[in-house]
Structure 1
Amino acid sequence: MARVSYVDERSHPELAALIGQIRQERRGKLIPVYGLLLHSPDVARAWMALINAVRWSTRLDARVRELVILRVAALNGASYVIDVHRRHFTSGDGLAAAECDALCAPSVPHGVFGAADAAVIAYVDESTRRAKVSAQVFRQAREFLDERQMVELSVLVGAYNMHTRVINALEIDPE
């Protein structure tokens, strides 16, 4: 059970427009993370804008986005995010079940991913574990991504570190 109560939308008619927007952008549901974030409507609105931007408005392809999200979730022990993304996003985004399993392992087994994916995974691992990326790992990722994509990759990693850490801290219930 979550550490903070979920906002009961029937008791907060002043949030109806925001809740409607959340439902529209989140598979028609008021998903648990927003049920908690609505205690602070401005934070919920900003959170949704950031997550939408890093997920849908980047030049990173869907496969790379899901690879990053699953890896960050695995490193931070955020089973909620892993379950949601495996169920709703990975099947059409080019990640096979074996790749999802590999991303969720403590260390990604060699040979599962090609050079471009491995470079991104190394970037995610260093950024998440140390909050710093070595010059070597940065160069390896940069071989496959342009400057804009490097910025978008860095922000995506940061956003999902925020996302998974808030979910873990508040012990948000699974969907």
Structure 2
Amino acid sequence: MARLGNINREELSDADKQYYDSIVGSRGSVRGPYGVLLHSPDLASRIAHTGTYVRFDLDLPESLKETIIITAAREIRNQYEFAAHARLAREAGVSESTIATIAGGKPIDSLEDDEKLLVTYAQQLIRDHKIKDEIFDAVKDKYGIKKTIDITALIGHYLLVGQILSAFEVDLAEGMSAEITD
């Protein structure tokens, strides 16, 4: 059971309703981490702003962004974040095999080259808190410096979101099911 309930718009001050409205405007509703984060409206807005950039404005195919996000979710074992983004990954064309491989923490040899490179980059950053030169250079050479920074920020953003979900024990939403298998 979640440690905090979602905050309703009516519970916010008139000044803070703008943050709620902004999140609804960019995401369609308030759910998941934002239901918790809106207990601190200004922080919720700032995190949502960063999320809007890395999720919607980052110039990278949706399939690769979602592959990175589910990798981050899997590495911190956050079922909510994984389930939410596995659905989006499927919609973006990520194969069931790739999703299952990441969910199960299996060797990634069967992934496509771009997926394998970005999953390795994310795993090394999260697991080892550093990235081997050969992997960093491969990402930088393929995507350029700006996108490498943006990819790193995408990973960091979803680690932050996943930790919020974990700390406040946000339950899987109706219709979601746990997909991380270990």
TM-score (norm 2): 0.86
Assess if the C-alpha contact under 8 Å between 1:32 and 1:172 holds in 2.
yes
Assess if the C-alpha contact under 8 Å between 1:68 and 1:157 holds in 2.
yes
Mapped partners of 2:147, 2:67: distance in 1: 14
Unaligned runs of 5+ in 1: none
2:48 maps to 1:48: yes
1:127 CA displacement:
0.5
Q: Which runs of 4+ in 1 moved over 6 A?
A: none
Mapped partners of 2:169, 2:103: distance in 1: 19
1:49 CA displacement:
0.1
Report matched runs for 1:70-85 at 5 Å. Answer: 70-85=70-85
| Amino-acid identity (%) | 20
Unaligned runs of 5+ in 2: 174-182
2:2 maps to 1:2: yes
Number of matched pairs: 172
* Cα RMSD (Å): 1.6
1:138 paired residue number: 136
Report matched runs for 1:104-123 at 5 Å. Answer: 104-111=103-110, 113-123=111-121
Mapped partners of 2:170, 2:107: distance in 1: 27
Report matched runs for 1:95-110 at 5 Å. Answer: 95-110=94-109
Q: Alpha-carbon deviations, 1:115-151, whole Å to 9, x = none?
A: 2221111100001112211112212323422222111
Mapped partners of 1:21, 1:109: distance in 2: 38
1:13 CA displacement:
4.8
Assess if the C-alpha contact under 8 Å between 1:60 and 1:152 holds in 2.
no
1:172 paired residue number: 170
SS in 2 for 1:31: coil
TM-score (norm 1): 0.90
